[in-house]
């Protein structure tokens, strides 16, 4: 028996309640019965009758519970598996379908000439006209604007010198469709460190948005596809590196927790978060420390999904190599958006309530810039404070 | 003096079955139990409602009784029986010839045993050993909740005027010229001694039957035979899974509510009070169990428990596994004591039949010709769906049906009303088994709730993953507020005895996750709350000042 698959980890629960004490959603909304009950405790009860725990809907999959658990229970994944069960018998709402399939939507839009431009206009119009709100989306938010050209399409135009040391970049949907400048920075940094960056067009969305909205079968297809690709690269000795923390968590941990196949574990060994990879180069003495001083102070919001990887704070470590750079962690908990959670109309307020502490911290403005590795965290901070954060790799790129 | 026509001694399934049967026939009956109800073998067993498959080779009479009673129980005790079905699996190390004899035995006894392919078996029970399992059959086994069944027997008896006194120990018999006049009893809490007048007394004390007999000066051949069982934290099996071989230790897995029970061993013990378990017994059960489920050791053990089968040993009869699982009725008029009967032996599955036969004899004596109706009438009414639907709004999910079957129509209604009107009563006392404060309060008020353990047996508080870690304090607090004043006021003792009861079953399995859990319990109660020296601590403070 694979003890690591989530459904088996429930047996480890000591009922200690550490997960409930650390759940940001519980702190924000009293209707949520909390990770312990909804996850491992109910896991023992599912046999007893056909029933639905309505408050499961509140779980944002931020994984604070998993990190708090002293016994290694994959609480949030138990919740996601249960959510998938719910959708076996219930129809998805339209906005859930939209939020789960950002990749599909972006592809559609790009098939239309000037599609991105039009859709961005459409989205700001949509916000003004209340269309999103009517769809069940958070009307208060700007929808992430599409980049004119997807990063993967723009990629061949980026000039790189062919070298032996190669890595494959897993772009992630958000960087590919919305923030290609992060991708460019990633390539600049990796090139400076003697790595040629490859792109694998066969990679699909990691599946994180699918999992949280209960499209588990579809997520499984993505997992099978991506894992086959990762293993293929592994056989060639080429690591897969991603600047998106939710993607890397999915590829490294969640696939295995959800589906429990051994090859998912094997694939995970070949996946690195961008700064984790750089830190590894540093440990080997291969990191290029020929960095221009920047003389800036940064406030670092550490994404939940980075914390869950238990790899420390490699971005802080690396950025502090730059002359005059000071990185302070915000230490203000979850930002509240948790992927597409905060984009739902019924979760908007909760999401903002969870983020309030972070917003307050950011608004102190005792720094030059806010940095965060996660795309949706950056959006949330921007929305909550009107201060636009950047990916730490963009800072590092400036130093080369 | 209190009076009843018949006093039933012993609050196990047999005694309760007799109380119900007599009450339904219009006989004024009163049951006394020295402890809480179903405190002996009627709850300390694997919770298996036999199809009879287990007896199909050795004892076809028992097998036939089982399959008939099995069907009756499903009908009259619908909410106590989980019709999960059973599977018999023969392993590579088991005798093939036995399988043949078993198939024939089932056919002869009227037990439907359907052969299934191994693929089907692994689909139904994914954790079965692919290496060892060689053949599989489906039989109509089921899981039955001994606790719930007993409370429903009382509810049914009370409807017909039956009475119950728990924590009331029999200390002697009042006889005049070889004729029974009454039963002398003592209240376990107050120490008060008194007599209950009666024409007939039935000794249905199970493992304790010999002690009760002794009080009346009659000898009864009963051998307590200890069976140890293991409760696992999860459902490991979907069906009752039996080993298809000559009945032996550790060869039955029963999915029982949220847990799985593996049992049992068979060991003659001098006293039925011996419910101790040991690491060695646990190890030996697991060793056998893992032949059927290879990854058994990966599953967390909640606790162990043991009970004594009251095996009837006729003069010169065999003991242990070879002793008959049948039952016997003795009319002690033959020993010169008119009015006293003893019923002993048997098994939970056939308790109703035993009661019927006992009551037939009693009624003949009483010239009561009312026929037995216990096989036809359901124990309790079903909770109406409308009440359940209303409850859904306030109950924790997965909790409605369980609570409805535990509480029955009237209490369930009251609990739902409380949940509706008092939001704070919706909080969970027991988070592992999903028990609300409203339900615990309702049961605390019952006239059979003297200690927190009595409430536990009825609500399942403290019987889940954390084994009382979080609910002991809460339950003792609720009990202090709503329980019987005489015992509830000493809430610290109530909480400690509740925790001690839990720890008794945990000590032999202090391994891995169970050990971690227990260390946390210890940290909370012994360190944070200092429950063992709170008194001393206060005294010290006084001395210092």
Segments making up each domain of chain B, as ranges: 2-40+147-221+325-365, 81-143+225-311, 383-417, 427-539
Low-confidence ranges of chain B (pLDDT < 70): 316, 318-323, 534-545
Parallel/antiparallel/unpaired status of strands B301-312 and B327-331: unpaired
pLDDT at residue A120 is higher than 90: no
Of B259, B431, B466, the CB nearest to A37: B431
pLDDT at residue A139 is higher than 90: no
Which two structure tokens, joined as six digits, stand for A74? 């994959």
B2-40+147-221+325-365 CATH: 3.50.50.60
Which two structure tokens, joined as six digits, stand for A27? 């702190």
The class that CATH gives domain B81-143+225-311 is: alpha beta
* Nearest partner of B464 among B438, B492, B488, B429, judged by Cα: B429
Counting Cα atoms < 13 Å in the Cβ hemisphere of A166 gives 14
Q: Do B2-40+147-221+325-365 and B81-143+225-311 show the same overall fold?
A: no
Considering the domain architecture, whether residues A22 and A99 belong to the same structural domain is answered as no
Instruction: Give the count of beta carbons closer than 10 Å to the beta carbon of residue A333.
Output: 20
Contact B360, B202 (CB under 8 A): no
Considering the domain architecture, whether residues A200 and A306 belong to the same structural domain is answered as no
Residues of chain A found within 8 Å of residue B470, distances taken between Cβ atoms = 15, 17
Contact A47, B234 (CB under 8 A): no
Contact A135, A98 (CB under 8 A): yes
Of B234, B259, B398, the CB nearest to A42: B398
Considering the domain architecture, whether residues A356 and A253 belong to the same structural domain is answered as no
Are the beta carbons of A44 and B258 separated by less than 8 Å?
Answer: yes
| Domain end (from A281, A303, A319) | A281
What residues form DSSP beta bridges with A329? Answer: A300
Q: How distant is the alpha carbon of residue B174 from its chain centre?
A: 31
Range of the domain at A244: 151-281
How many percent of chain A have pLDDT more than 90?
A: 74
Are the beta carbons of A11 and B402 separated by less than 8 Å?
Answer: no
**pTM score, two decimals?**
0.90
Domain contains A143: no
Are the beta carbons of A8 and B298 separated by less than 8 Å?
Answer: yes
A39 or B204, greater pLDDT: B204
What's residue B321's pLDDT? 66
What's residue B397's pLDDT? 85
pLDDT at residue A125 is higher than 90: no
Which two structure tokens, joined as six digits, stand for B202? 């039935």
Give pLDDT tens digits for A62-104. 999 999 999 999 999 999 999 999 999 899 988 888 888 888 8
Helix (H) or strand (E) holding B122: helix B118-124
Considering the domain architecture, whether residues A304 and A352 belong to the same structural domain is answered as yes
| Domain end (from A251, A281, A311) | A281
Domain contains A78: yes
Domain contains A1: no
| Domain end (from A225, A250, A281) | A281
Q: What share of chain A is helix, strand, coil (3-state, %, to 5)?
A: 55, 5, 40
Give pLDDT tens digits for B1-57. 899 999 999 999 999 999 999 999 999 999 999 999 998 999 999 999 999 999 999
Of A13, A17, A48, the CB nearest to B465: A13
CATH code for the domain in which residue A233 is found: 1.20.1050
User: Which DSSP state fits B304?
Assistant: E
pLDDT at residue A168 is higher than 90: yes
Q: How many residues comprise chain A?
A: 400
Counting Cα atoms < 13 Å in the Cβ hemisphere of B320 gives 5
Domain contains A142: no
* Nearest partner of A396 among A253, A300, A256, A254, judged by Cα: A300
Contact B162, B446 (CB under 8 A): no
Considering the domain architecture, whether residues A327 and A216 belong to the same structural domain is answered as no
Confidence of residue A119 (pLDDT cuts 50, 70, 90): confident
> What total of structural domains would you count in chain A?
4
Please tell me whether the peptide bond between A55 and the residue prior to it is cis, using omega within 30 degrees of 0. no
Considering the domain architecture, whether residues A155 and A76 belong to the same structural domain is answered as no
What's residue A4's pLDDT? 56
What residues form DSSP beta bridges with B143? Answer: B48, B82
Are the beta carbons of A37 and B396 separated by less than 8 Å?
Answer: yes
- Residue B335: burial class (beta carbons within 10 Å; 0-12, 13-18, 19+): middle
Chain B, nearest residue to A52 by Cα: B397
Considering the domain architecture, whether residues A248 and A170 belong to the same structural domain is answered as yes
Q: CB distance from A40 to chain B under 8 Å?
A: yes
CATH code for the domain in which residue A337 is found: 3.40.50
């Amino acid at each position: 028996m694979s003890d690591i698959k989530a459904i088996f980890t429930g047996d480890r629960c000591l009922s200690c309640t550490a997960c409930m004490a650390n759940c940001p959603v519980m702190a924000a909304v009293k209707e949520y019965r909390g990770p312990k009950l909804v996850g491992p405790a109910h896991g023992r009860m599912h046999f007893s009758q056909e029933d639905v725990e309505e408050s499961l809907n509140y779980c944002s999959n931020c994984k604070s519970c998993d990190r708090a658990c002293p016994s290694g229970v994959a609480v949030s994944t138990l919740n996601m598996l249960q959510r998938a069960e719910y959708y076996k018998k219930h129809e998805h709402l339209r906005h859930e379908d939209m939020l789960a399939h950002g990749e599909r939507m972006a592809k559609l839009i790009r098939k239309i000439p000037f599609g991105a431009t039009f859709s961005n206009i459409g989205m700001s119009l949509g916000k003004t006209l209340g269309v999103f709100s009517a769809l069940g989306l958070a009307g208060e938010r700007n929808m992430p604007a599409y980049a004119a050209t997807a990063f993967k399409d723009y990629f061949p135009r980026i000039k790189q010198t062919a070298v032996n040391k190669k890595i494959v970049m897993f772009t992630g949907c958000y960087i590919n469709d919305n923030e290609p400048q992060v991708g460019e920075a990633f390539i600049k940094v990796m090139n400076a460190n003697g790595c040629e960056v490859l792109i694998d067009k066969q990679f699909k969305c990691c599946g994180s948005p699918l999992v949280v909205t209960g499209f588990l079968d579809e997520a499984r297809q993505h997992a099978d596809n991506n894992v086959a690709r990762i293993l293929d690269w592994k056989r060639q000795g080429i690591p897969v590196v991603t600047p998106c923390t939710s993607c890397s968590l999915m590829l490294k941990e969640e696939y295995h927790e959800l589906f429990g196949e051994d090859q998912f574990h094997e694939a995970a060994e070949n996946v690195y978060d961008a700064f984790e990879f750089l830190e590894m180069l540093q440990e080997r003495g291969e990191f290029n420390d020929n960095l221009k001083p920047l003389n800036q102070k940064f406030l670092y919001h550490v994404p939940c999904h980075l914390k869950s990887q238990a790899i420390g704070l490699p971005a802080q470590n690396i950025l502090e190599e730059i002359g005059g750079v000071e990185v302070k962690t915000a230490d203000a908990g979850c930002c509240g958006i948790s992927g597409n959670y905060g984009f739902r109309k019924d979760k908007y307020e909760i999401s903002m309530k969870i983020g309030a502490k972070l917003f307050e911290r950011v608004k102190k403005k005792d720094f030059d810039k806010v940095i965060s590795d996660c795309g949706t965290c950056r959006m949330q901070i921007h929305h909550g404070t009107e201060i636009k954060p950047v990916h730490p790799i963009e800072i590092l790129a400036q130093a080369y | 003096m209190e009076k009843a026509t018949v006093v039933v001694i012993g609050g196990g399934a047999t005694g309760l079955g007799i109380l119900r049967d007599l009450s339904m026939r219009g006989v004024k009956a009163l049951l006394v139990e020295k402890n809480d109800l179903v405190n002996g073998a009627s709850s300390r067993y694997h919770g298996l409602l036999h199809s009879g498959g287990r007896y199909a080779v050795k004892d076809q009479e028992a097998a036939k009784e089982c399959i008939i009673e099995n069907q009756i129980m499903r009908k009259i005790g619908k909410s106590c029986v989980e019709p999960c079905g059973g599977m018999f699996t023969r392993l590579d190390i088991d005798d093939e010839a036995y399988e043949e004899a078993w198939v024939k035995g089932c056919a002869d006894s009227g037990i439907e045993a359907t052969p299934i392919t191994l693929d089907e078996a692994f689909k139904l029970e994914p954790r079965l050993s692919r290496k060892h399992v060689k053949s599989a059959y489906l039989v109509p086994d089921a899981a039955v909740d001994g606790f719930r069944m007993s409370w429903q027997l009382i509810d049914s008896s009370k409807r017909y005027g039956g009475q119950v006194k728990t924590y009331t120990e029999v200390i002697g018999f009042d006889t005049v010229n070889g004729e029974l006049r009454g039963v002398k009893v003592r209240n376990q809490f107050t120490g008060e001694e008194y007599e209950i007048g009666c024409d007939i007394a039935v000794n249905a004390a199970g493992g304790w039957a010999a002690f009760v007999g002794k009080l009346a000066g009659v000898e009864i051949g009963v051998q307590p035979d200890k069976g140890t069982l293991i409760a696992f934290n999860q459902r490991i099996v979907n069906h009752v899974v039996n080993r298809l071989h000559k009945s032996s230790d550790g060869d039955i897995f029963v999915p029982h509510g949220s847990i799985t029970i593996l049992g049992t061993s068979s060991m003659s013990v001098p006293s039925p009070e011996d419910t101790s378990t040991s690491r060695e017994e646990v190890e030996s059960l697991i060793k056998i169990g893992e032949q059927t489920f290879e990854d058994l050791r990966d599953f967390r053990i909640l606790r162990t428990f043991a009970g004594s089968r009251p095996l009837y040993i006729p003069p010169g009869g065999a003991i242990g596994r070879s002793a008959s699982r049948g039952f016997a009725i003795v009319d002690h008029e033959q020993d010169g004591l008119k009015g006293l009967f003893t019923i002993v032996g048997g098994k939970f599955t056939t308790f109703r039949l035993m009661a019927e036969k006992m009551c037939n004899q009693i009624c003949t004596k009483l010239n009561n010709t009312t026929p037995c109706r216990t096989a036809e009438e359901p124990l309790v009414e079903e909770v109406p769906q409308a009440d359940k639907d209303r409850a859904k709004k306030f109950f924790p999910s997965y909790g409605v049906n369980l609570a409805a079957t535990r509480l029955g129509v009237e209490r369930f209604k009251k609990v739902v009303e409380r949940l509706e009107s008092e939001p704070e009563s919706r909080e969970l006392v027991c988070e592992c088994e999903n028990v609300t404060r409203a339900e615990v309060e309702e049961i605390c008020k019952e006239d059979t709730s003297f200690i927190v353990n009595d409430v536990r047996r009825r609500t399942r508080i403290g019987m889940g993953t954390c084994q009382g870690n979080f609910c002991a304090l809460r339950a003792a607090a609720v009990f202090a507020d709503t329980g019987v004043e005489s015992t509830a006021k000493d809430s610290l003792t109530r909480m400690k005895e509740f925790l001690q009861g839990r720890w008794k079953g945990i000590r032999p399995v202090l391994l891995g996750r169970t050990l971690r859990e227990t260390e946390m319990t210890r940290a909370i109660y012994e360190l944070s709350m200092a429950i063992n020296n709170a008194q001393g601590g206060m005294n010290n403070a006084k001395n210092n000042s």
